[in-house]
Amino acid sequence: MITSLTSSGSVAFRREAALAIVRQVALTISAGDVDAAQTVSMRAWTRARALVANAAGPATAQGACAAIGLRWADTLTLALADPATRGVAAGRLAERQGRPSPDGLVRHALRAVAFELGHSPRPDDYDAVATRLDRDRAARFGSAFGLPCAATIQDRAGSWQRALDGAGLPPAPPPPSQAGPAPALLCDRMIDETGLVPTKRLLEHWCRAGGVQLGRGVRDWAQVLRDTVELRRAAAKPWPTRRATRADYARISRASVAPAVSTRRPAVRPVEDVLESLRRYAALLTPGERPTQKHYHATKRARPEAQLVAHSTIARHGRFQDLYAAATAPTR
């Protein structure tokens, strides 16, 4: 059973040893030709394996199949796959057998992209590399890996960092140009402009609408609030009492005014491009279809002529549903 591909400890060691020896012997028989190695029979492999007596791993093709948990053709496919993307190949085999392994596919997709980048990916890095890997695979073999997008990974894991933890990867490095105004200054400015009780989500949405990426200090939201209270108290400014509604989020997205205190570079794509992309997406929906970020990503892949922006670009400016509401809100 393919579930054995996700086991650990000594079982995992035996599996890796089996994959290594299957690959070594099959390539020896085919003189290095991967396509020819895929057609090696079990009998031919077992005969050739006897000539590599000192290598670790099973001595027969039947033993290799038992150690890996797959039939012979799939064992060869997995062993001959690029080690950096072997996990993706395992996920595809699981799907073909009717036993989907989404969590395993996410882990191995993250590891494959990290291998390409040389470090743990950020969501925008991941989408760019995963798209290229899928495109290259489709051009070479006629079918793509079907790697999940960054938004799907975050949905499944709950957060990007949790997904990296599950894949055994360290935190992604911070993006370039991490310097910027203190979050408390931005929070104070936001209160002046909106008159709303500040929350972390609201501040992030307001900054994204203005093309500003917050620094790492916003992770300590309690400290940001304390600093903001001190700023406003020193300036004799009142503290707001009205809480934000969905209409406020939509209004902030439409206004898209960059905070005057910001010295940071704008986001990769302005919010106007994001809103226009969401309007094109809305025009493609059929009666009964609900606009969700998962459906948006599927539409982007199925309808390249629509030129929809990547979901990671949308995420830079706020929540998908808030921006969709802003894009489709009737204009007065």
pLDDT tens profile 240-264: 888 888 888 888 877 654 444 444 4
In a domain, 283, yes or no: yes
Same domain, 116 and 162: yes
User: What is the average per-residue pLDDT within 230-237?
Assistant: 83
Name the least confident of 2-16, 74-88, 184-198, 225-239.
2-16
- Which pLDDT band, with edges at 50, 70 and 90, does 218 fall under? low
User: What is the average per-residue pLDDT within 289-316?
Assistant: 83
| Cα distances (Å, whole numbers) of residue 273 to 96, 213, 267 | 38, 17, 11
Same domain, 285 and 218: no
What pLDDT is recorded for position 213? 64
* Percent of the chain that is helix, strand, coil (3-state, to 5): 65, 0, 35
What pLDDT is recorded for position 178? 47
What pLDDT is recorded for position 148? 85
User: What is the average per-residue pLDDT within 265-277?
Assistant: 71
In a domain, 244, yes or no: yes
What pLDDT is recorded for position 258? 44
Name the least confident of 42-46, 77-81, 215-219.
215-219
What pLDDT is recorded for position 9? 43
The domain of 234 spans 183-255
In a domain, 54, yes or no: yes
Query: Does the pLDDT value for residue 4 go beyond 70?
Result: no
The H or E element spanning position 282 is helix 271-284
What pLDDT is recorded for position 106? 83
- Which pLDDT band, with edges at 50, 70 and 90, does 5 fall under? very low
In a domain, 90, yes or no: no
In a domain, 322, yes or no: yes
Give the residue, 27 or 101, on which the prediction is more confident: 27
| Domain end call among 126, 144, 173 | 173
| Domain end call among 195, 230, 255 | 255
What pLDDT is recorded for position 124? 82
The phi and psi torsions of 237 (rounded to 5 degrees) equal: -100, 140
Contact assessment for residue 267 and residue 316, using Cβ atoms and an 8 Å cutoff: yes
What pLDDT is recorded for position 2? 39
User: What is the average per-residue pLDDT within 7-17?
Assistant: 60
What pLDDT is recorded for position 13? 66
The H or E element spanning position 112 is helix 102-117
In a domain, 264, yes or no: no
**Per-residue pLDDT tens over the stretch 298-308:** 888 888 788 88
Residue 248 tokens, joined: 């406020």
In a domain, 120, yes or no: yes
Same domain, 160 and 102: yes
- Which pLDDT band, with edges at 50, 70 and 90, does 94 fall under? low
Same domain, 76 and 10: yes
| Cα distances (Å, whole numbers) of residue 49 to 34, 55, 64 | 17, 9, 11
What pLDDT is recorded for position 200? 84
| Residue type at position 52 | V
Domain count, the chain: 4
Contact assessment for residue 87 and residue 5, using Cβ atoms and an 8 Å cutoff: no
User: What is the average per-residue pLDDT within 57-81?
Assistant: 81
Quote the mean pLDDT of the chain. 77
Give the residue, 14 or 49, on which the prediction is more confident: 49
User: What is the average per-residue pLDDT within 146-150?
Assistant: 83
What pLDDT is recorded for position 36? 81
| Domain end call among 24, 50, 80 | 80
What pLDDT is recorded for position 85? 66
| Cα distances (Å, whole numbers) of residue 118 to 121, 125, 130, 172, 178 | 9, 11, 14, 11, 20
What pLDDT is recorded for position 261? 45
Name the least confident of 102-116, 146-160, 183-197, 263-277.
263-277
In a domain, 131, yes or no: yes
What pLDDT is recorded for position 100? 42
